[in-house]
Amino acid sequence: MGKFITIGERIHCISPVIREAMNTQNPEPILLRAKEQLDAGAVYLDVNIGPAESTGVELMKWAVRLLQENFDNVPLCLDTANKKAIEAGISVYNRSKGKPIVNSADAGDRIEYIDLAGANDAMCIALCSKAGVPADNDERMMYCQELLERGMEHGMEPEDLWFDPLFLVIKGMQDKQMDVLDAIRMISEMGLNSTGGLSNVSNGMPKEVRPIMDAAMMAMAMANGLTSAIINPCDKRLMETIKSCDVIKNNSLYADSYLQI
Amino acid sequence: MAYKQTSQKFNAAINSVEIGTGNKTLALGGENVLPFYSFDGPILNPPRVGVEISDLGMNDKLAGMLNFYGDTQDVVELVKKASGMPGAEFICLVLDSADPDGENRSVEDCVAMVKSVEEAATLPLMVMGCGNTEKDTVLFEKISEALEGKNIVILSAKEENYKNVGASAGLAYGQKVGAESSVDINLAKQLNVLLTQLGVNNKNIIMNLGSATAGYGFEYVVSTMDRVKMAALGQNDTALQMPIVTPVSSETWSVKESLLEQEDMPEWGSRENRIIDMEVATAAACLAAGSNAVILRHPSTVEAISQMIKELI
């Protein structure tokens, strides 16, 4: 098994600094966020430009070039509701460090993102949902199957679809947490890759509690077969948990300095 | 249904490390397939065969050894002859004379001797210490300095002295650093990490994972080498993508099968044949498990192993 793949989430237009930098095409704040995340051990970087309806195409091209030129063709996850912007990003994307990831498709309105990924030989995050949160794992796995078939119809390899079981907030949906873990196990037992926005579980919790809850969820999710997650790599406790779990799963060979590499 | 061959593709490769300079250079490693899996993809550099020479000369005057080297104990002469040995691709000089519990030759004398050996050899050079960590650490520093630019391999940096050896051989004088870890897989990785953190380029490191003689707990050697190659290729672990060099003869010549004279064990037959057999069996097994270079002593073994490599690749 390969090592767990972290996708750094911090280049996101929801952050005022990043939004401002994207609006003015100012490289500095974006490069700084990228460097912080890569230094902390992120493998992929997510680039979320928001809906960007009018400016998306140019903005995504600019961001992809900027990040790959400055960081040795770092692999990227292209994150926007603007399909043309994703295609534009892929058109200037260098694949030497890994295929681009389309973020994201679902079994509802966004199912065509799978077609887009297939047509462009990209990977695709596939949300196991249609409209809102799936009621149970029967529903989750039905969507998973649907998305997998759609991908194969469009010439994708199953390993290029990363299924997102939809991590749910504990404050409010505490009774659903084990379902999510079971879904991860089912996806893993089908031999498929998985990912997701893990920090959703600790949403609304006090700042000092969140890294603890995220780390616990990460360990349990990895034990159930999660192969990737969209996370804040600057969360040291979380990264240490991932590295430790990678050792326990024999995904990486132990050495005394394993936390530093 | 017709047989369809599938090949195992890895997106990672073992580092190709060049040793020596000028017309005596040799590249180790560089492959991205499992040992001898040439059916999965081309093997960039075949495994290499080196000849071990002790600076004390031949301590065992076997017929086959005398036949090849003649009756000389002069280390420079021995190295010259070994350079022309069929199948030999590098020389490994062992500084046995430096041992404080033995001849205790001074560091200055050792350095002078290594210099003349390097000049005489027509093959690239590896230098192995006497086994006394304290003395070896000083020796390695002075030898690395004296042979700056010759791109020799220092065998080895260990857990106890990696800082000194890494700083002198690896950083100050640009030699290749052997990282020695006596069949301890986690230490093997840790040493590479520590040397890299010290600033040694990971392309300048060669691993000596250690060995055992075939039949003497050798399974552990196999599983160690196996896991290292799978991590390097399958998990793209850059801390384990260094080529592996394995000193074989130092292990196999000291087991009872190699030590007992024919008079003491007539049913075992010729002692020299047994020595060769143990050396060949162990070297072949190390290569099959993942060694990128083996260090051997007997000319017949060198020939047999290099022939085996040629036939298989």
Whether residues A255 and B193 touch (CB distance < 8 A) is answered with yes
pLDDT number for residue A1 = 65
Q: What is the ipTM of this complex?
A: 0.86
Contact B242, B55 (CB under 8 A): no
Q: In what order do the strands lie in the sheet with B176-180?
A: B205-208, B176-180, B153-157, B125-128, B90-94, B48-54, B293-296, B245-247
Report yes or no: A255 at the B interface, CB cutoff 8 Å: yes
Tokens matching residue B189: 């990785």
How far away is chain B from the Cα of A127, in angstroms, using its nearest Cα? 27
* pLDDT tens-place string over residues A60-71: 999 999 999 999
Q: Name the nearest CA neighbour of A129 among A149, A157, A105.
A: A105
pLDDT number for residue A21 = 96
Residues of chain B with C-beta less than 8 angstroms from the C-beta of A254 = 186, 189
Report yes or no: A65 at the B interface, CB cutoff 8 Å: no
Q: Which residues of chain B are under the pLDDT cut of 70?
A: none
Nearest chain B residue (CA) to A97: B11
| CA–CA separation, B60 and A248 (whole Å) | 49
Identify the sign of the CA torsion A214, A215, A219, A220. negative
Nearest chain B residue (CA) to A3: B235
Whether residues A252 and B197 touch (CB distance < 8 A) is answered with no
Chain centroid, CA B1 distance in Å: 46
Contact B272, B63 (CB under 8 A): yes
Whether residues B190 and A255 touch (CB distance < 8 A) is answered with yes
Domain residue limits, chain B: 38-312
Whether residues A254 and B237 touch (CB distance < 8 A) is answered with no
Report yes or no: A73 at the B interface, CB cutoff 8 Å: no
Which of B162, B189, B198, B229 to mutate: most A Cβ within 10 Å? B189
Residues of chain A with C-beta less than 8 angstroms from the C-beta of B228 = 253
How far away is chain B from the Cα of A254, in angstroms, using its nearest Cα? 6
Whether residues B193 and A261 touch (CB distance < 8 A) is answered with yes
Report yes or no: B80 at the A interface, CB cutoff 8 Å: no
The CATH class, in words, for A5-260 is alpha beta
3-state secondary structure chain A: CCCCEEEEEEEECCCHHHHHHHHHCCHHHHHHHHHHHHHCCCCEEEEEEECCCCCHHHHHHHHHHHHHHHCCCCCEEEEECCHHHHHHHHHCCCCCCCCCEEEEEECCCCCHHHHHHHHCCCEEEEECCCCCCCCCHHHHHHHHHHHHHHHHHCCCCHHHEEEECCCCCHHHHHHHHHHHHHHHHHHHHCCCEECCEHHHHHCCCCCCCHHHHHHHHHHHHHHCCCCEEEECCCCHHHHHHHHHHHHHCCCCCCCCCHHHC
| CA–CA separation, B86 and B63 (whole Å) | 17
For A115, other C-beta atoms within 10 Å of its C-beta total 18
| CA–CA separation, B303 and B65 (whole Å) | 13
Report yes or no: A253 at the B interface, CB cutoff 8 Å: yes
Whether residues B190 and A251 touch (CB distance < 8 A) is answered with no
Report yes or no: B198 at the A interface, CB cutoff 8 Å: no
Report yes or no: B226 at the A interface, CB cutoff 8 Å: no
Binding-face residues of B in 233-252 toward A, CB within 8 A: 234-237, 239-240
Whether residues A253 and B194 touch (CB distance < 8 A) is answered with no
Whether residues B197 and A260 touch (CB distance < 8 A) is answered with yes
Q: Diameter of chain A by CA atoms?
A: 51
| CA–CA separation, B219 and B51 (whole Å) | 25
Residues of chain A with C-beta less than 8 angstroms from the C-beta of B239 = 255, 261
Report yes or no: A188 at the B interface, CB cutoff 8 Å: no
At the second CATH level, the architecture of B38-312 is: Alpha-Beta Barrel (3.20)
CA distances from B287 to A154, B155, B169, B247, B294 (A): 44, 19, 27, 12, 7
Digits of tens for pLDDT over chain A (261 positions)? 689 999 999 999 999 999 999 999 999 999 999 999 999 999 999 999 998 888 999 999 999 999 999 999 999 999 999 999 999 999 999 999 999 999 999 999 999 999 999 999 999 999 999 988 999 999 999 999 999 999 999 999 999 999 999 999 999 999 999 999 999 999 999 999 999 999 999 999 999 999 999 999 999 999 999 999 999 999 999 999 999 999 999 999 999 999 998
The partner residue sitting opposite A261, judged by closest CB among B186, B187, B239, is B239
Contact B191, B214 (CB under 8 A): no
Residues of chain B with C-beta less than 8 angstroms from the C-beta of A261 = 193, 239
Contact B173, B145 (CB under 8 A): yes
C-alpha torsion angle, residues B254, B169, B12, A243 (rounded to 10) = 90
Contact B227, B185 (CB under 8 A): yes
How far away is chain A from the Cα of B223, in angstroms, using its nearest Cα? 13
Which of B9, B193, B227 to mutate: most A Cβ within 10 Å? B193
The partner residue sitting opposite A251, judged by closest CB among B190, B235, B240, is B235
> B87-96: buried (b, 16+ CB within 10 Å) or exposed (e) per residue?
bbbbbbbbbb
Whether residues A255 and B239 touch (CB distance < 8 A) is answered with yes
Query: DSSP string covering chain B, please?
Result: ----------S--PPEEEEEETTEEEEEE---SSTT-TTTS--SS--EEEEEEETT--SS--HHHHHHH-S---HHHHHHHHHTSTT--EEEEE-GGG-TTTT---HHHHHHHHHHHHHH-SS-EEEE--S-HHHHHHHHHHHHHHTTTS--EEEEE-TTTHHHHIIIIIIIS--EEEEE-TT-HHHHHHHHHHHHHHT--GGGEEEE-----TTSSHHHHHHHHHHHHHHHHHS--GGG-S-BEEE-HHHHTTSHHHHS-TTT-GGG--HHHHHHHHHHHHHHHHHHHT-SEEEE--HHHHHHHHHHHHHH-
The partner residue sitting opposite A252, judged by closest CB among B194, B197, B237, is B237
Report yes or no: B88 at the A interface, CB cutoff 8 Å: no
Query: DSSP string covering B275-297, please?
Result: HHHHHHHHHHHHHHHT-SEEEE-
Whether residues A255 and B197 touch (CB distance < 8 A) is answered with no
HSE-up (13 A, CA, CB side) for residue A250: 5
Which residue in the block uniquely carries the two structure tokens 């076997």? B62
Whether residues A252 and B235 touch (CB distance < 8 A) is answered with yes
The partner residue sitting opposite A255, judged by closest CB among B189, B227, B235, is B189
Nearest chain A residue (CA) to B187: A255
pLDDT number for residue B273 = 97
pLDDT number for residue A239 = 98
Whether residues A2 and B235 touch (CB distance < 8 A) is answered with yes
